Amino acid sequence: MKPDLERIVAVDHPDPHTYLGIHVAADHVVVRGYRPEADRVRVVPAGGAAAVDATRIHPAGVFEAKFPGLKDVFAYQLEVTIGGQTRKEHDPYAFLPTLGEIDVYLAGEGKHYELWSRFGAHVRKLGGVQGTSFVVWAPSARRVSVVGDFNQWDGRRHPMRRLSPNGIWELFIPGVGDGAVYKLEIVSPLGERFLKLDPFAFETEIRPATGGIVHQHAPPKSGWSDAVWLNKRASDDPLRRPWSIYELHLGAWMRVPEERGHGAIDVGDSHTGRWLTYREIAPKLVEYLKKTGFTHVELMPITEYPFDGSWGYQVTGYFAPTSRYGKPEDLKYLIDALHAAGIGVILDWVPAHFPRDSHGLRRFDGTAVYEHLDPRQGEHADWGTMVFNYGRAEVRNFLLASALFWLEEYHFDGLRVDAVASMLYLDYSRNEGQWVPNKYGGRENLDAIAFLRELNTMVHEKHPGAVVIAEESTAWPAVSRPVYTGGLGFTFKWNMGWMHDTLAYFQMDPFFRRFHHQKITFGFLYAWSENFVLPLSHDEVVHMKGSLIRKMPGDEWQKFANLRALYAYMWAHPGKKLLFMGGEFAQPTEFNEARSLDWHVLTQGPNAPRHQGVLDLVSDLNEQLRARPELHEADVEPAGFQWIDANDNEQSVASFIRWDRKHERFLVCVLNATPVVRKGYRVGVPIAGEYREVLNTDSLDYGGSGVSLSAPDPAHDGNPLLVAVETGHHGQPACLTLTLPPLATVWLAGPKMPPKVEAPEKSA
């Protein structure tokens, strides 16, 4: 083993604090400093005592000053002269660790759920000295140094100490403060030296730069104002609330023309201009979501990522909001503004994989730290990314802390967890021989299952009312059932089966729909097996799939009619709703992250009234969803739904009832999926009496043909009045006779049901 001095000079010492800094010897106190570039070093004791010249004890730049007769350490500074310029600085190696034994223990056990409060870069004062502490986990590294502008990116200047056998490294650097750019210089077990982004960086440089930025967490500049929102969220049951989620890519929702100096504006349109910042988008997005009535917005991943074309799904910064749109406090401003408007915010979060970028997590210390070493377990060949090693306690802790961090520090209302199926199955998208079975010989990823259960348990325990939503595309059982019953514990699961069947049905020529009627009825056989979200997400309008409106068959009139009918059928269907941006006004082109939505179609071109009609319809759907308990109270229980007729495939008509929890209020929904006007169509209903048309997607207001269910009643705001007679039909005690508009969905509200009369108990 090399002596300490030689290891310091070689920058190969696992604990430089044991040699550098201030130490008590038998009959003196000694101060040592390593300043490779220094011409002279003096030790200046605090309190006015005389400075002492340090002797260069190694030509590489190790200096030593002795204080004979002293028996205790003391505060001091180093006076360093370089090239004729002298400055005073505090010695990083004079400070005790900033990480306590309990923190080290919990991190090693994978149970430090506030890991971000200790790891990463934190501005703090130690002994009255301002600086930044750095903590990182690099278990196999021979050496880790903090480098940045503050030390000329010289890894010799600030090597960290290894605090624990499992590889936690720590250093406090005086004088480094908020806004400093830094990286970690790591030496692998084989002696390779490279730079990495701090996995716990709270802010990063904007791509292509890859440095971390020291960031001191704080509330928005005006302070958080969402206490009322958070308290209400904690007391609400999300399963029984109206949920209409607007999925959003921040950089492609709306853009503004580029400025070209001297106030000049780019002559091009706003499609390919610059994106809005978090602060700029806040008032525009709040106004738009209030106008359209969405209850929540789901942000596609904004955890820092290097490649625009990944849309954020290849994450390098699990604790840093992307710098593309501004500073961390600007994101907090956006979320606070949305909460003030009564709008929840969901973060699309990606724990299933991470990219190979050299500055990221892959081979973090030269070995497989966050991923599996075996490519059969550690790589996603389809995506060119790495798979997290969920069996490693520190990796689980890293991901759990990331999830809780966004809920705690940024007040997100929940997480949408990406690609859950790829986590659950060891053979996901792998051929025989390309995967490793679990210890029982099965294909289930037991470590990932345990991680997901712990994730959902901790989120629901620590953040009441927050939700965790699984994007899970298989028939894995009990995804959204509690952990204590054997489930995975998610609040909701995306209903991918409903999405595929529904889009397949509506993409068909109406003539053929009668042969595939089960595609819009089959989903009700499993609609309550999970707590479902019905997603029409970004995945359905990318990669040459075309936009939703372009999927619809027929001429322009029929395309819009089909899309309107689909939306009203979807909003009446049990399950929470999710619609990707642009779908609400029938965006004509598919998603492109490099350009804005086609806002101009609402005001320009022959189809502008139809686009506006779709937008008005979605706004009305959201208004009805909020206002009518029968559309949301019993989403997750079969009692909230009742078929009227699931079997009229010959006419491609489906009809059903949505009930509130008390079975007092109900809504009748009828879908006519053909362009044929069906007169005299009889629909069974629960009670005779007056019925009102609540919504008709064929209304002239939405760009339809204006076929009415019956003659308008001027005494009731022009809404058609229909009367159900006491003639049994469809197994119901009464029936309505309707004129069904073409390619349309209609909603009808009936009279309030009389209270149920309980039979008297028989006397003994």
Q: Which of 365, 471, 472, 598 is catalytic?
A: 471
Q: What are phi and psi of 257, to 5 degrees?
A: -60, 145
Cα dihedral 389, 394, 396, 399 sign: negative
The residue behind tokens 């009918």 is 565
Report d(CA 186, CA 358) in Å as an integer. 12
Two structure tokens written together for 4: 């300490």
Of the candidates 40, 50, 47, the residue with the CA atom closest to the CA atom of residue 79: 40
Q: Which of 198, 418, 616, 645 is catalytic?
A: 418
The distance from CA 184 to its chain's CA centroid, rounded to whole angstroms, is 27
- SS3 assignment, position 436: coil
Two structure tokens written together for 32: 């040592």
DSSP string, 689-736: EEEEEEEETT-GGGTS----SS-B-GGGTT-BEEEEBS--BTTBSEEE
Omega before 208 cis (within 30°)? Answer: yes
Active site residue 72: no
Give the largest Cα separation in the chain, rounded: 109
Active site residue 471: yes
Checking DSSP bridges between strand 161-162 and strand 143-148, what pairing results, if any?
A: unpaired
Of the candidates 461, 458, 385, 459, the residue with the CA atom closest to the CA atom of residue 423: 385
Tell me how far CA of residue 611 lies from CA of 243, 248, 289, 530, in angstroms: 23, 19, 17, 34
Two structure tokens written together for 554: 């027929």
Report d(CA 395, CA 371) in Å as an integer. 9
Of the candidates 269, 226, 270, 275, the residue with the CA atom closest to the CA atom of residue 250: 275
The residue behind tokens 């996603």 is 380
Report d(CA 348, CA 536) in Å as an integer. 15
Name beta bridge partners: 168: 137
Name beta bridge partners: 579: 246, 536
Residues known to be catalytic: 418, 471
